[in-house]
Amino acid sequence: MELSDFFADNPRAALAFSGGVDSAYLLYAGMRWGELVKAYYVRTPFQPEFEYQDALRLARELNAQMEVITRNVLELEAVTANPPDRCYHCKKVIFSAIAEKAREDGFSVLLDGTNASDREDDRPGMRALRQLNVRSPLRECGLTKDVIRELSRQAGLFTWDKPAYACLATRIPTGTAITEDLLARTEWAEDYLLSLGFTDFRVRTLGNDAKLQLKARDFPLLLERREEITGELKKRYASILLDLEERK
């Protein structure tokens, strides 16, 4: 099945929109082949500001309807305790909020950007999507991440080469309680490295230390500015560690 066929069968739909590569292309496709596809972005403490700004920018460039919903997932102990299935609990809060608002707006179909490259056993949150009957057109149509990036490039979407991004909570080890301070520190550190030109990296929390996971191409930049980087990051971390294995 082609995406054009999917939207011919489902011309009106609500879309869980993150501003990432997949949901961005799905919004573009819905605008092109659907009758009315409305984007819903849920702001939580787990999403950094740049993701929100990217979502606003894309919706504006596509002239798409986008509604922002706010949910404080830190109010849920099953999330803040950071168990192995934290993603399930968080996704259920987020998608339940979208589903409720979408129903109020008259939509009976809810979409997300899961693609054919996403393995279900790698994404605990998929259980929440199944429970809420969320449809994943990119997956249903067999579109892999590489194909979506190329189609996005052809469509002129600025997200086409955007690095894959997981929420800030993924930087905190399972079993370590998630707090606003830990999330804010992580966002601060990653914003700083972004400002220096690093891309597609992670700053992980290990107790009160930071562990940097970089692409091999960025190792020279790190060594070149090592003293500056360690000096800045040690304002909020006890020590700065480097994972010598390239980030995959």
Q: Are 97 and 71 in contact (CB under 8 A)?
A: yes
Q: What is the pLDDT of residues 59-81, one digit of tens each?
A: 999 999 999 999 999 999 999 99
Give residue 165's pLDDT. Answer: 86
Give residue 94's pLDDT. Answer: 94
In angstroms, the CA 221 to CA 229 distance is: 10
Q: How many CB atoms lie within 10 A of CB 168?
A: 23
Give residue 128's pLDDT. Answer: 80
- Domains in the chain and their CATH numbers? 3-161 (3.40.50.620), 179-242 (3.30.70.2210)
Give residue 127's pLDDT. Answer: 81
- Which parts of the chain register pLDDT below 50? none
What are the beta bridge partners of residue 14? 38, 110
Cα-Cα-Cα-Cα torsion 226, 228, 233, 239, nearest 10 degrees, comes to 50
* pTM of the predicted model as reported, rounded to 2 decimal places: 0.91
Q: Are 52 and 19 in contact (CB under 8 A)?
A: yes
Give residue 120's pLDDT. Answer: 64
